[in-house]
Amino acid sequence: MEEVKEVSRLVQESTAAYRIICEQFGEAVSALDSNDTMPFFEVLESGRWVEIALFMRDHAKLKFNYMACMSGVDYPTEGKVGIVCNFQSLALLNHKLSVKVKCDRAGGCIPSVSRVWHTANWHEREAYDLFGMIFTGHPELKRILCPDDWEGYPLRKDYKVQERYHGIKVPY
């Protein structure tokens, strides 16, 4: 097998975009994980996430105007939950980059970016619904897919389904 692998366009573009962010924020962001499928970096100081988000959206060479997806993820081994956001500069520069933000499993907070990208509003509600991290500054943080009075956060790895819900037996 040949180990000399051409670096794909995706990685090149993402690396270029990452450098700009890294120059601005330095220690607040981690190094770029330049894998082939989804290059991403992590926001280490989650408190600066909104600032980074705004920078990503508005900087002339970044222009990440489109948040394609935001997925909540559970990291039980690190004791954290987090979000993975996939960005693209839609119809402008067309580069992509992914960002991870993590917080503590118990009562952790991530600043909400729903004011930066409207689409984050429902994505954050969904992440809160299924993973239980708090998005500070979110306009209406409540459950979206599960009923409002559901117990627990279903997509956490240690989730145990509740016995009864309004007198109805849940696990069957």
Asked if 154 touches another protein (CB under 8 A), the answer is: yes
26: left (phi over 0), alpha (psi -120 to 50) or beta: left
Instruction: Find the binder of another protein among 14, 18, 21, 40 (CB under 8 A).
Output: 40
Tokens for 122? 């429902």
**DSSP class per residue in 138-152:** -TT---SSS-TT--S
Comparing CB distances to another protein, the nearer of 7 and 68 is: 68
What burial letters (b/e) apply to 102-119, b meaning 16+ CB within 10 Å? bbebeebebbbbbebbee
Total binding residues toward another protein, as defined by CB under 8 A: 34
H helix or E strand, kind and range, residue 20: helix 9-25
Smallest separation, CB 143 to another protein (Å): 8
Q: Which residue from 34, 44, 48, 66 is in contact with another protein, where contact means CB under 8 A? A: 66
- Asked if 121 interacts with another protein (CB under 8 A), we say yes
Nearer to another protein, 27 or 158 (CB): 158
Q: Per CB under 8 A, which of residues 4..33 are in contact with another protein?
A: none
Segment (H or E) for 87: strand 80-88
Report d(CA 90, CA 7) in Å as an integer. 22
- In whole angstroms, the minimum distance from the beta carbon of 84 to another protein comes to 6
- Tell me which residues touch another protein (CB under 8 A): 35, 37-38, 40, 65-69, 71-74, 84, 86, 90-91, 94, 98, 117-119, 121-123, 126, 130, 143-147, 154-155
